[in-house]
Chains A and B, each alone.
Chain A
Amino acid sequence: MTMTTPGTTDLHPETTAFLATVRAHLSDLPEEERDELLDGLEADLSEQLAEGGTLPDPDGYAAELRAAAGLPAGPAARAPRRRKPIKGQLVGAPDVLRARWLELTRHNDLTRTGWSLLETLRPAWWVLRAWVAVTLVDVMSGGYENVTLVPSLGAALVGPAVLVVAIVVSTLIGLGRLWPGSGPDRTPLARLVLAGLNVFAVLVPFSFHYAGSQPEIYRPTYARAVAVDTGPPVLRLGRDVIRNVYAYDAAGQPLQGVQLYDQKGRAIAVAPQSSMGRGAQREVTCPWFNGTTPLFNVFPLPQRSQRYGTCLGHPDPAKVGPQAFQEPPLASLPPATLPAEPTG
């Protein structure tokens, strides 16, 4: 665009903001006309500032500019709610930000192409944010389960059905058919709500906990989710973190492949990032598997020596030891019995 050419980055920031606001007030005009009107203004404003002048109120300025140029009053001027300056600024803020952003994207061909490409990908974002919303519900409702492409939500078909509904709703919002809608012609509240939700949808996936994958065993689409605010689930005995569990039968003999669940049917699992020792002595616990799903609640867990990362990470195969079961801490236990039922 003619307004901003490369090499003019030494502008006063207030000039840029001022121009963006004025530009927003002219948003109803054809782009060519707007550029024509604002062309050269940048240089003039810079000179005015350099001479010790101050920038006028951009709202009043835009109105005066329109009036003097023989243009009809702008959209902002027609809106009565712009009377209160603070509120007016808040109402105009999305437009100013939008104008400033679009200004930036017009900086050169590369950013212009990039932005237009991103704009065509908007529907993909609508689908993605729907997925994030359903996955968030999935993660928060279940105790400790995998982030999957199709959220499970506890029962067969419920997850996919909810996901489809969420995608439809998200798309309708994106198309402006459902509140809070999309585009500039909305109430400030609706715009604020949508912006908040979108930012939330961008940030929430960072709270999902993703483990790595072992490519030779399964595809890397698997991940494991926990809410970050509660920390990764860690088994504890008092203050000690439990990193492996050894089960013995009633006769006192060690068992292998015992799947543990608590009274609510939740898996009693050690953390996937569980490790013991340091340096060359460091050992990580490796999961059992149900198909491709790693299970950290089947005991004892095999271990292997590995200096960095987790068993499910992408360790250099040359730098990890063989995976094996450790000797149980106790070879055997005295047998255990239940007291005989009193007969009578």
Chain B
Amino acid sequence: MDTTQLLKGVLDVAVLAVVEDEDGYGYDVLRRLRAGGLAEVGDASVYGTLRRLYAAGALTSYVVPSDEGPHRKYYGITPTGRAQLTTQTKDWETFAETVTALLSDTHAVTQQAQPEGARS
């Protein structure tokens, strides 16, 4: 299955989740997502998502100057972002349960149906 398609749907909530406890800059967020198991997540997707969440008011951003190089842009979660995270987490759980149930039911049905098909 093409997991990149699935990833698109959950990237918002995943990004919100990894900055919930600690602010992070772009590459940092990417690392946390990959460390969390989303190995295939594209860096541009993460940056774009950060930007979109920021534009929507779910994230704040601030710049931290660096002595030895270009400055870093950190993102932190806002109350709006927390609310969105809570809602979307619930949505995801419901959705995941539904799909899991659906898949296992269908699996069971198919298994039951197969002997009948073999008989006829």
Residues in chain A within 8 A of chain B (CB atoms): 2-5, 8, 10-11, 36-37, 39-48, 56, 60-71
**A64 is contacted by which of B42, B66, B68 (Cβ under 8 Å)?**
B42
Residues in chain B within 8 A of chain A (CB atoms): 11, 25-27, 30, 42-49, 51-52, 55, 63, 66, 68-73
A69 to B51, Cβ gap below 8 A?
Answer: yes
Interface of A is mostly: helix
Known A56-B43, A64-B42; contact A43-B48, beta-carbon cutoff 8 A: no
Q: Name which of B11, B43, B66, B70 has the most chain A CB atoms within 10 A of its CB.
A: B70
B46 to A68, Cβ gap below 8 A?
Answer: yes
Q: How far does the Cβ of A71 sit from chain B's closest Cβ, in whole Å?
A: 8
Closest residue of B by beta carbon distance from A47: B27
Interface of B is mostly: helix
A64 to B69, Cβ gap below 8 A?
Answer: no
Q: How far does the Cβ of A282 sit from chain B's closest Cβ, in whole Å?
A: 60
A43 to B66, Cβ gap below 8 A?
Answer: yes
Q: How far does the Cβ of B45 sit from chain A's closest Cβ, in whole Å?
A: 4
In order of increasing CB-CB distance, the 5 nearest A-B pairs are A68-B48, A40-B73, A64-B44, A69-B48, A44-B27
Q: How far does the Cβ of B107 sit from chain A's closest Cβ, in whole Å?
A: 34
Known A43-B66, A44-B25, A48-B43; contact A64-B48, beta-carbon cutoff 8 A: yes
A8 to B69, Cβ gap below 8 A?
Answer: yes
B43 to A42, Cβ gap below 8 A?
Answer: no
Closest residue of B by beta carbon distance from A67: B48
**B72 is contacted by which of A5, A43, A60, A65 (Cβ under 8 Å)?**
A43
Closest residue of B by beta carbon distance from A38: B47
B70 to A42, Cβ gap below 8 A?
Answer: yes
Given contacts A43-B70, A45-B27, A69-B55, 13 further A-B contacts (CB under 8 A): A11-B70, A37-B47, A39-B73, A40-B72, A43-B25, A43-B71, A61-B43, A65-B45, A68-B11, A68-B52, A69-B47, A69-B51, A69-B52
Q: Name which of A42, A43, A60 has the most chain B CB atoms within 10 A of its CB.
A: A43
16 of the cross-chain contacts (CB-CB < 8 Å) are A2-B71, A3-B70, A8-B69, A10-B69, A40-B25, A40-B26, A40-B71, A44-B26, A44-B43, A45-B27, A46-B70, A65-B47, A68-B11, A69-B48, A69-B55, A70-B48
**B63 is contacted by which of A8, A39, A61, A67 (Cβ under 8 Å)?**
A39
A70 to B52, Cβ gap below 8 A?
Answer: yes
Q: Name which of B25, B42, B43 has the most chain A CB atoms within 10 A of its CB.
A: B43
Closest residue of A by beta carbon distance from B27: A44
Closest residue of A by beta carbon distance from B75: A40
Q: Once the chains are docked, how many angstroms separate the CA of A53 from the CA of B45? A: 17
A68 to B47, Cβ gap below 8 A?
Answer: yes
Q: Note all chain A residues with C-beta closer than 8 A to B70.
A: 3-5, 8, 11, 40, 42-43, 46
**B47 is contacted by which of A2, A4, A41 (Cβ under 8 Å)?**
A41
Closest residue of A by beta carbon distance from B29: A44
Closest residue of B by beta carbon distance from A42: B70
Q: Once the chains are docked, how many angstroms separate the CA of A265 from the CA of B32? A: 85
Known A11-B70, A40-B25, A69-B49; contact A62-B63, beta-carbon cutoff 8 A: no
Q: Note all chain A residues with C-beta closer than 8 A to B27.
A: 43-45, 47-48
